[in-house]
């Protein structure tokens, strides 16, 4: 059975080569579609055009995306034996919403391996805090199940941890397995790290650009995730993410540049 996320990010190729899609209700925060969700729609269209899954993709936000029909205009910039480079623009109502560039190709399992990072140590999922609860300002919390470790969830009660970090578990609310496109959503599903920094209000933190590197196909089960920021400066912050599957394998990395929330 197709999961709710797959249905909400489905695309259909038109006769003119562009892709038709629908920005579905329930994948927004206060009326603006989640950036990872919009990027996943573009990734599906680009992967179809390339004939290969995403390895790395970057989306630059141009305007807020609202519920309703949209198109993804895709250009295959280069297609080699192993990899393809693809660009796209997501448009709705005559407005450009997102400009996207990505690399597409099959995962390579062989070769040397060196991983010095480690999955975050988390309490059991049932002891973590659901930071995007159902019907909390939108239906987004009905679609995803994000649970932060307790010490990273205090910002909700005005008790930030003092370090710009959020770690916890991710799964879709319908428990459908996370694939490469789902990882794009995971990269933008957690509360912004700056909510736990000193003297930063809990308010909208608009993403300027989001990059996701797909490092593997997740095994079934919830993902362990950690997001950290090292520099909050000049009204901007970067957010680096790691996503680990149930085997303890790093399956995705992310980085986004965003605006520090205003009071």
Answer yes or no: do 220 and 99 share one domain.
Answer: no
Q: Tell whether 148 is covered by a domain.
A: yes
Q: Determine, yes or no, domain membership for 118.
A: no
What does the pLDDT average to over 7-33?
94
Reported as type and span, the H/E element at residue 8 is helix 4-8
Across residues 9-25, what is the average pLDDT? Answer: 96
From 55, 75, 105, give the residue that closes a domain. 105
179 in Cβ contact with 239 (< 8 Å): no
CA nearest to 3, candidates 180, 186, 174, 188:
174
Q: Which long-range contacts (CB under 8 A, 24 or more apart) does 239-244 make?
A: 239/192, 239/193, 241/187, 241/190, 242/117, 242/119, 242/120, 243/170, 243/183, 243/186, 243/187, 243/218, 244/119, 244/120
pLDDT at 181 over 60: yes
Q: Is the pLDDT of residue 17 over 70?
A: yes
Q: Read off the pLDDT of residues 74-95 as tens digits, 9 standing for 90 and up.
A: 999 999 999 999 999 999 999 9
E runs forming strands in the chain? 11-13, 19-23, 28-29, 32-33, 54-61, 68-79, 83-92, 95-105, 129-130, 144-148, 165-172, 207-214, 223-228, 232-233, 236-244, 250-259
- Residues 15 and 83 reside in one and the same domain: yes
User: What is the rounded distance in angstroms from the CA atom of residue 144 to the CA atom of residue 56?
Assistant: 23
Q: Classify residue 119: in a domain, yes or no.
A: no
Sign of CA dihedral 25, 29, 33, 37: negative
Please tell me whether residues 136 and 75 are part of one structural domain: no
Do 65 and 140 sit in the same domain of this protein? no
Q: How many domains does the chain have?
A: 2
- Average pLDDT of the chain is 94
| CATH number, domain with residue 255 | 2.40.160.210
Domain ranges, residue 250: 125-259
Identify the band that residue 136 occupies on the pLDDT scale cut at 50, 70 and 90.
low
What's the average model confidence in pLDDT over 232-249? 97
Q: For 123-134, how does the pLDDT look when each residue is reduced to its tens digit (9 = 90+)?
A: 999 999 998 776
Give domain status of residue 110, yes or no. no
CB contact set of 184 (below 8 Å; sequence gap of 6+): 36, 39, 40, 43, 54, 57, 212
98: in domain: yes
Rounded distance between C-alpha atoms, residue 41 and residue 79, angstroms: 21
Examine the fold and report which residue of 71, 105, 139 is the final residue of a domain before the chain moves on.
105
Q: Are residues 141 and 241 in the same domain?
A: yes
Q: How far is CA 72 from the centre of its chain?
A: 18
Is 116 domain-assigned? no
Do 74 and 135 share a domain, yes or no?
no
89: nearest Cα among 67, 60, 114, 69: 60
Q: Is residue 179 part of a domain?
A: yes
The residue among 241, 240, 154, 150 whose CA lies nearest residue 198 is 154
Q: Are residues 134 and 254 in the same domain?
A: yes
Q: What is the pTM of this model?
A: 0.95
Residue 163 sits in the same domain as residue 250? yes
Task: Clarify whether residues 98 and 38 are in a common domain.
Answer: yes
Same domain, 83 and 130: no
- Same domain assignment for residues 249 and 142: yes
pLDDT digits 0-9 by tens, 37-79? 999 999 999 999 999 999 999 999 999 999 999 999 999 999 9
Same-domain check for residues 129 and 253: yes
| Residue 74 falls inside a structural domain | yes
3-state secondary structure of 87: strand
């Amino acid at each position: 059975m197709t999961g709710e996320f797959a249905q909400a990010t489905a695309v259909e190729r038109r006769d003119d080569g562009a892709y038709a899609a629908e920005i579905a209700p329930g994948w927004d925060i206060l009326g603006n579609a989640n950036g990872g969700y919009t990027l996943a729609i573009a990734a599906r269209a680009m992967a179809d055009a390339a004939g290969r899954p995403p390895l790395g993709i970057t989306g630059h936000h141009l305007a807020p995306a609202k519920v309703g029909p949209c198109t993804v205009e895709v250009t295959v910039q280069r297609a080699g034996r192993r990899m393809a480079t693809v660009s796209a623009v997501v448009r709705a109502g005559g407005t450009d919403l997102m400009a996207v560039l990505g690399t597409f190709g099959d995962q390579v399992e062989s070769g040397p391996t060196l991983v010095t990072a480690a999955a975050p140590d988390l309490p059991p999922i049932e002891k973590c805090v659901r930071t995007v609860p159902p019907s909390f300002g939108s239906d987004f919390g009905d679609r995803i199940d994000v649970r932060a470790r307790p010490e990273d969830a205090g910002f909700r009660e005005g008790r930030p941890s003092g370090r710009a970090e959020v770690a916890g578990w991710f799964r879709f609310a319908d428990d459908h397995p996370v694939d490469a496109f789902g990882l794009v959503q995971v990269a933008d599903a957690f509360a912004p790290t700056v909510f736990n920094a000193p003297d930063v209000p809990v308010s909208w933190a608009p993403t300027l650009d989001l990059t996701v590197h797909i490092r593997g196909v997740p095994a079934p089960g919830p993902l362990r995730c950690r997001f950290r920021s090292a520099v909050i400066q000049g009204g901007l912050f970067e957010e680096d993410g790691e996503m680990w599957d149930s085997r303890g394998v790093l399956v995705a990395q992310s980085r986004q540049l965003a605006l520090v929330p205003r009071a």
